[in-house]
Amino acid sequence: MIILAKHAGYCFGVRRAIQMAMENASPERPIYAAGPLIHNRHVIAELAEHGVVTAERPEEIPAGATVIIRAHGVTPDVLRSLLEKNCVILDATCPYVAKIHRIVTNESGEGRTVLIFGKRGHPEVDGIAARCSEAVVVENEDELRENLQKIADRPVSVVCQTTFQKENCVKFVNIVKNTCKLPRIFDTICKATELRQSEAQFLAERSDFAVVIGDPSSSNSRNLYALCRERCVQTQFIQDVSELDRSVLKESAQGFVTAGASTPDRIIKEVYWTMTDEIKTNSAESFEELLEQSLKTLHTGEKVTGVVTAINATDITVDLGVKQAGYIDFDQLSDDPNFVVADNIHVGDEIEATVIRVNDVEGWISLSKKRLDAVKNWEVLEAAVESKEPMEGVIIDQNKGGVVALVKGIRVFIPASQTGLPREASFDPLMKTTQKLRIMEVNTQRKRVVGSIKALANEARKEAQAKIWETIEVGKKYHGVVKSFTTYGAFVDIGGVDGMVHISELAWNRVKHPSDVLEIGQEVEVYVIALDPEKRKISLGYRKAEDNPWTKFINTYHVGDVASVKIVKFMPFGAFAEVLPGVDGLIHISQIADRRIGKPEEVLQIGQQVDAKIIGIDEEKQKISLSIRALLEPQAAPAEEPVEEEPEEETPSAE
């Protein structure tokens, strides 16, 4: 019995390139291909007869010619040289390859090293590597390990040649993950290649012989042969029926036929019929029957997956693998008012949608992505009620009862009591903001969803509080936000827990009110100075030790130094003068002048700047004694006098 693989022959990208060439060329009006359009000599010969001239180098293409870019793509240099010659470009680059070009351009633009799994020198790999500032191509495990030793400490992004063996890709990716720090892995193997390889692997393990049809220059055909040969010893690799070894064909044997992505249907058909005729069996399905299965008709409401092949003015074209073309109008892509097609949809992307209309007469299928997304999203919200998974939504509307958030395209009502705002507060601050919320109730029949911002915020706050109380200790620093003021200090949220900064801990100088130093909502750095776990009270400090003016004074001045000071206050026993901001010293009335005076103001004025000698420092009490007289009559003034004691209630603090 012989089985014909369902995924044998042309892939979408190859079929598209050939169709584009045939539609634009003729013997009377030839066009040029920048390199072999696909890797199959039979097809290249047929295209040549139809007027497609294969040019190995850009220099062979005349100026102004029409040029078709092959399915493997070309390097930017080749494309640039063609444009400089005013050539008309027909881009038949496979959408999957074009997608890799976008990926590596972005990754390389971020300064990342691009690691490419593929065949060195293959035109597809050359085109990918040419779009990178730094690219490393590896073909086997030994090359991978050798190169990883050189680039393991760099940011690495990984892509694969579209026809790379899937099982090798998985193995290589695991090696990269175990070697590199946070690599970015992109799955770029063509889905048609994956299906072809997985099907061939399955059949080869269960067959007595296998036949792989393809051109020796075709990378995907060679990979397909290698994969089958590992699992089935009797595997042939042929270009056409003339190379078929018929000796393995026996009536009792089980075999299968598959083909690379660039193998034309007629060659597959010829090989398959020859084999089935040879063993004279009627049990095998005909090529036409298998082909017809691939051209099935879809039905309204059916979920489908396809590949974006074109982005038009009002819709996108999707290849569904059936005989009709699929289209999605822009208004059927998303319910998100901020959805931008160019940012979210690209040629080569896989896309899921729902069939909303089938027109067999004109050969097209109308699709809707947003309808399928809506069904999925309702399921996601229903699941979120049970799982309590936080959701994210944008507040888009408000009414007297609350606000409305758009979550995954679905309107979610948030009652006023669940917004987290104070009663009677305006909802305006929430409008057009993104909020995390808990889904509390979902009624799919009534299309009603209720959410809560407050519930999630409370849970987060409780978790944060528990975490803080587990780790908090005196001296630990926190980044906090000023929440409120009292006459004696400020409350600061340090991540779910409020602590009190006493007014005396706000600054080194005297503060009348906390608002003189801080603002509500201000972000501050604070540290713990005292704890009461039982009463859940935390005392915080805000002023920094390095800003202590007394420390600055001690590090700057010594007894005997002369300082320029400013008179700030008079007392019956003398005058207080500012030595540094926050540090005052006392000039005793006996040290103001070289004669006896009745009051300090007889000689001095508030705000007056005078020179004074430091004649005493009491570090324990942080008090300073100054003398003007010592500078007027240095011979009569003592070198050092004890710090004068004055009434505590009348003496300004050195702070």
CA atoms within 13 A on the CB side of 571: 19
For residue 44, report the phi and psi dihedrals to the nearest 5 degrees. -60, -40
Neighbours of 88 (CB within 10 A): 14
Closest CA to 5 of 187, 193, 165, 168: 193
| CATH fold of the domain at 303-370 | OB fold (Dihydrolipoamide Acetyltransferase, E2P) (2.40.50)
- Tally of CB atoms within 10 A around 59: 9
Residues of the chain with CATH 3.40.1010.20: 95-189
The residues of the chain that CATH labels 2.40.50.140 are 303-370, 388-457, 472-547, 550-650
Q: From CA 179, how far away is CA 136, in angstroms rounded?
A: 15
What CATH number labels 95-189? 3.40.1010.20
Answer whether 349's CB lies under 8 Å from 389's CB. Answer: no
Q: Active-site residue 124, yes or no?
A: yes
Residue 58: which of 43, 69, 44, 72 has the closest Cα? 69
Q: Pick out the chain residues at pLDDT < 70.
A: 251-252, 279-297, 323, 360-363, 633-655
CATH assignment, 550-650? 2.40.50.140
The residue type found at 174 is N
pLDDT number for residue 289: 53
Q: Across the beta sheet with 31-34, what order do the strands follow?
A: 52-55, 31-34, 66-69, 88-91
Is the domain spanning 472-547 CATH 2.40.50.140? The answer is yes
Q: In degrees rounded to 5, what are phi and psi of residue 224?
A: -65, -45
Catalytic hit among 46, 56, 110, 124: 124
Tell the CATH topology of 6-91: Rossmann fold (3.40.50)
* Burial (Cβ within 10 Å: 0-12, 13-18, ≥19) of residue 564: exposed
User: DSSP code of 60?
Assistant: G
The Cβ of residue 651 has, within 10 Å, a number of other Cβ atoms equal to 18
Domain 388-457 has CATH 2.60.120.260: no
User: Which amino acid does the sequence have at 255?
Assistant: G
